[in-house]
Structure formats: C-alpha cells, structure tokens
Amino acid sequence: MMYKDKKVVFSGVQPSGVLTIGNYLGAIRNFTEFSDEYLCYYCVVDEHAITVRQTPADLRRRTYETLALYIACGLDPEKNTLFVQSHVSAHAELAWILDCFTMFGELSRMTQFKDKSAKNADNINAGLFTYPTLMAADILLYQTDMVPVGVDQKQHLELARDIAERFNSVFGDTFVVPEPYIPKATAKIMSLADPSKKMSKSDENENATVRILDPKDVIIRKFKRAVTDSGSEIKYEDGKEGIKNLMSIYGAFTGKTMDEIEKEFDGKGYGEFKLAVGEACADKLAPVQSEFAKLMNDKAYLEDVMAKGAENAGRAAVRTMSKVRRKIGFTEAKR
C-alpha cells in the first residue's frame, strides 16, 4: 500500500435506470469535493446491474448516460478516474476470491437481498445473493480509504470491512479497511409518493421519483403532487415526514437550513412551498441537463474517457491482484 500518495475514494452507480435527485444529492454531487485531496475512482457498475434482467441495448445506452451524468455533474475526467466496471476484469476475479472468505449467513442477512428477492421472485439468482461480495471487491481492489454511501448501502460497506479484516487476519496486511462517508443533510432522499421509502430510480410510480433529466414542467408537476399531511405549517418535525423530505430537498438545492426554511415559509401553505421546491430543483438541474446533452452528442469523447479510466483503474487493480494471488497461493503464468 506504500504506492499511494493520496488517500483513495471509491464509489459506483448502477446504469439500471435514469438517475434520480436522490442519486445526485446523496452521492454524485458530493463526489466533486474529493477530487483535489483524494485519489478518486468513480465507476459505472454495469456488472451489478445484471442481477436483474436487462435489455442489452438499454444497458449499453444507460452506461454511456451514467458516465455522461458523472461528468455533467462536475466530475472532471482529468482529476478523477471514471470507468466502467466490466472494463476491468479484476473486479470479477477478486469477487470470486472474496466469495470464498464470505459466510453464507452474512449474505443471507443483507436487507437488500431480501427486498430485491421480494420484487424479483421469478429471478432470485446467485448474483443477487453474492452482490455484496462484488461490491466489496470493487472497494477493496483500489485499497479504498473512504466510500461515499447512502445509508441503505451502509450494511454492504460493513460487510466489506468484515471481509477485509478476515482476509488480513489470515494472510497479513493486504487490504485497507474502508470507512463510510455519509452526508448528514441529504443522506437519504425519500419517495414523493411514500415518504417512508427511499426515492428509487426503479419505482413504478412516476410521481414518486424526480429524475435528474426530467424537464422543468415535469419536475414541478411531481413536486406539486408530492404526498404531505393534513396540516399546513412548514415545520421540520416528526409526524410530517412528507414535509420533512421536501424541506431536506429544498435545503440541499438552496443551501438553507431547516430553521431558515421554516422562517421563509412562515404563514405560507403547502402549495406555495411545493412550487418553490420544484423551481429550486429544476433551476439547479438545468446546467447539468445542458452539459449532459452535449456529452451524449460526443460518443467518441465518452469512449475515450472510458478507455483512459479503465487503463488507470487497471494499473491499480493489477497491484492489488498480484498481492492477493501471491498470498492465497496462486501461481503466476511464466512467459
């Protein structure tokens, strides 16, 4: 691990649907703050996406779109390693090795496996079960110090830490044990239709989710239809989960505190507040959408970013895999 001159940040986003403001506020927007101080690897995790059946043409298109959104949201390919997971074969190789150091009981306790199994009862495949071990491989492959995660992924990161510590205890110092980074204010953006659930890009209810690429009129319409409660005060308090969620979103887009928002909308109704949230969201996303459109019209540039990112990531992956193979007793091919 002496080759690192900076601490490492790793994160990945699935190309399994159009990204939401939850992905933007809870993850991608925060990635830019690490670019100068850390060695950053940001991955389009297409291998994770196929635990659920995908239409191949859609998966390819969304892979380009996710990479373009990374860049449009402010991630400079010159400062960050942006790449596609399947372009670095070491992810799959290390995942298999780590499968052999992951207990069946650990995987069976993962809440996301239970949730996804319930939603995909006709396709409860082995990949869905071992998904967290592939996520551990993604992280440990780059000797990652810090992982920006939503609270729903914290359980998977804890498993990655356990696997790293178990491997290190058997074979000596091999993997950095990663720490989570969870932004407090916008750690979890909730559904507009059901504030008890996380906003999800796979939600079948169109009004539940605001996507980064939604047009302004669509964004405002969705916020106007957001579920609240029977009251009328804009207060950040228990029992008003819908309003709390809208206040969190408004605060994230405007930089205002909950106290400032309460004062701003004192004496005003839910309708006026919902409109303000929608406009703040749409205004902040407008430059992202404009840049995204330009990038999607330059496929050659995106492919160049993919190639350079895979080359950079591959160099780091080779160092880790050489160490791992040697420690577990694999032989090297002599050429």
Note the pLDDT tens digit of each residue in 225-263.
Answer: 999 988 889 999 888 999 999 999 999 999 999 999 999
- Confirm whether 3 is domain-assigned: no
- The yes-or-no verdict on residue 150 having pLDDT over 70 is no
99 and 229 both lie in a single domain: no
Indicate the SS3 state at residue 45: coil
Domain count within the chain: 2
Do 126 and 225 belong together in one domain?
no
List CB contacts of 45: < 8 A, sequence separation 6 or more.
12, 13, 14, 15, 85, 138
Q: Do both 145 and 232 map to the same domain?
A: no
The residues, any chain, with a CB within 8 Å of residue 316's CB and separated by 6 or more, are: 41, 141, 142, 143
- pLDDT category at 2 given cuts 50, 70, 90 is very low
Q: Of 115, 126, 104, give the one whose Cα is nearest residue 51.
A: 126
- 102 and 19 part of one domain: yes
pLDDT at 27: 77
- Domain check: are 220 and 236 in the same one? yes
Average pLDDT over residues 144-156: 82
174 shares its domain with 210: no
Structure tokens, 224: 């106007």
Residues 6+ apart with CB under 8 A from 156: 110, 112, 132, 135, 136, 149
The residue-averaged pLDDT of 150-155 equals: 73
- Nearest alpha carbon to residue 12 among 149, 162, 116: 149
Q: What percent of the chain has pLDDT over 90?
A: 70
Q: Is the pLDDT of residue 1 over 60?
A: no
Residue 217: give its domain's CATH number: 1.10.240.10
Task: Kindly report the average pLDDT of the chain as a whole number.
Answer: 91
220 pLDDT band (50/70/90 cuts)? very high
CA–CA distance, 64 with 72 (Å, rounded to integer): 12
Q: 312 and 263, same structural domain?
A: no
Residues recognised as catalytic: 116, 198, 201
What is the extent of the structural domain holding 219? 206-293
Within-domain flag for 335: no
Structure confidence at residue 25 as a pLDDT band (50, 70, 90): confident
Q: Are residues 21 and 78 in the same domain?
A: yes
Residue 158 lies in a domain: yes
What are the DSSP calls for 221-288, one per residue?
A: HHHHT----S-------TT-HHHHHHHHHHHHHH---HHHHHHHTTT--HHHHHHHHHHHHHHHHHHH
Is-contact 288 212, C-beta < 8 A?
Answer: yes
In total, the chain counts a number of residues equal to 335
Q: Are residues 303 and 282 in the same domain?
A: no
Separation of first and last alpha carbons in the chain:
27
Q: What is the mean predicted confidence (pLDDT) over 109-126?
A: 75
Same domain, 159 and 284: no
The CATH number covering residue 102 comes to 3.40.50.620
